[in-house]
Chain A
Amino acid sequence: MSRSREITVTVNGTVHAASVEPRLLLADFLRSTLGLTGTHVGCEHGVCGACTVLVDGDSARACLMLAVQADGRVVESVESLGRIGQMNALQEAFHEHHALQCGFCTPGMLMTATDLLRKYPLASDDDIRKGLSGNLCRCTGYEHIVKAIRAVLDKRAVR
């Protein structure tokens, strides 16, 4: 076992100090050390997108980052978006448009969509599909996920 390192990470607005082995993945730090199990772990090699979180505001695979690398950073996981009864606009749209079946991919879809909506105009549904191409839904419910993201954009345009 390699020497543990002290890290301080802000997760969903709360500052956490912890001692971690260098090989601990950020995904496992969130789930096992902090008990934030909203971040799902699928493939553990950066293909499925289920573990996507925001690091300093940018989406990142939590299975491709070490917890030590998050020292001093701001991490946002799906738990930051809202709560039952107080969901954000994107979560409401997923609810309205049946954009989840089993729900396994949903945290990654939500965090990826959050970053996509901030960075790209997503003028066409094809742009949304390209943006989501790194997130796998094994229920294959992509149509409804695209519709939910489109609905957020439409609501934004009305305002």
Chain B
Amino acid sequence: MKPPVFDYVAATSIDTAIAALAAAGTDAKILAGGQSLVPMLNFRLLRPSILVDINRIPGLDYIRETERDVRVGALTRHYQLETSPLIAKLFPVVACAMTHVAHLAIRNRGTIGGSLSHADPAAELPMLAILLEAEFGIASANGARVVPARAFFLDALTVDLESAEVLTEIVLPKLPAATGWGFEEVARRHGDFALAAVAVLLTVAGGAVKEARIALTGVGATPRRAAEAEALLIGRNPDPELIGRVIDVVREIITPETDLHASADYRRHLAGVLAGRAIAQAWRRACEPSP
């Protein structure tokens, strides 16, 4: 259970990181928080020729507000996002969900960019990115490009990132006023990966739902939105009857798998229950007078 031999370079800028990745070809790996990569090295599931450590690149860990959005540097640690007053104010659903991510020692090291690039099918952050319609800033030798979260997650542990590209920034567009949130997760033990988790945002106008977002994780190869279920809520008041119908649609459209933690049937049932609860929470919060 020791890592295989690899070469190592501590990049001092995005440009030196990209150059080192490009020079190494396809078997280099970026070392950020290391909380998923190092276990895979210890198990020798990966044998990269070189690790490009980006931890010493200055100015990549920040949480910054602009007029339209909040920008999170890719090297921001989970614990920073969990405890940021700006995030608590503008994206309380993120602050809540982050306390479910692993354990303090992992959250101290693990990075936002690392978790999103790793794209575990049961992780919270990819689901939050889909929910918040985040955009990802990606740097490479050919310049910068921006990818929306909905196009970024391609398959389990597979994202739209080339081997010599670095995810540098996550952009979270601000939410409309009168938006309430809900978050529900079930894991075998606090901090474990979700058997299923659901995050909901409801924007309310004139006593009815104006905009609805339902995002799920742990119930397929990638996190997903439940667009068909969202559509049912528009213009309506989510009473128990309507929530029941939304739950049915959620269960119909997801494609969970059986593994040693839970069966597909259990995950399907669970996702429905959690979606119902999260919708009720979001509705209640959206209807509360804003502070």
Contact = CB atoms under 8 A, between A and B. Distances in A.
A60 B105 contact: yes
B35 to A, nearest CB: 6
B150 interface: no
Interface stretch (B36-44, B197-205, B255-263, B282-290): B36-44
B24 to A, nearest CB: 13
Interface in A17-43: 21-23, 25, 28
Interface residues of B, number: 31
Nearest to B105: A59
A70 to B, nearest CB: 11
B5 A1 contact: yes
Contacts of B42: 25, 44-45, 63
Contacts of B106: 46, 61, 64, 134
B76 interface: no
A133 B7 CA distance: 34
B189 A23 contact: no
B111 interface: no
A133 B106 CA distance: 12
Contacts of A58: 79, 108-109
Interface in A131-147: 131, 133-135
B8 A65 contact: no
Nearest to A51: B105
Interface string B93-123: 0000000001111101100000000000000
A119 B34 CA distance: 22
A69 interface: yes
Given A45-B43, A129-B190, A133-B190, A22 B103 contact: no
Given A45-B42, A68-B10, A52 B1 contact: no
A156 interface: no
Contact of B2 (A23, A46, A60, A130): A23
A134 B102 CA distance: 7
B244 interface: no
Given A23-B5, A68-B10, A133 B108 contact: no
B137 interface: no
A112 B190 contact: no
B39 A45 contact: yes
B55 interface: yes
B105 A22 contact: no
Given A44-B42, A46-B38, A64 B103 contact: no
Contacts of B8: 2, 5, 22, 66, 68
Contacts of B125: none
Nearest to B3: A23
Contacts of A68: 8, 10, 53
Contacts of A159: none
Nearest to A115: B104
A119 B7 contact: no
Interface string A112-131: 10011001000000000111
B6 interface: yes
A107 interface: no
B51 interface: yes
B35 A25 contact: no
B40 to A, nearest CB: 9
A134 B103 contact: yes
Given A69-B53, A112-B104, A116-B104, A25 B191 contact: no
12 contacts: A2-B7, A22-B8, A46-B39, A59-B105, A61-B35, A61-B106, A64-B34, A69-B34, A112-B105, A115-B104, A133-B103, A134-B191
Given A25-B3, A58-B109, A131-B104, 12 more contacts: A2-B8, A22-B51, A23-B4, A25-B2, A46-B38, A58-B108, A60-B109, A68-B53, A112-B104, A119-B104, A130-B191, A134-B106
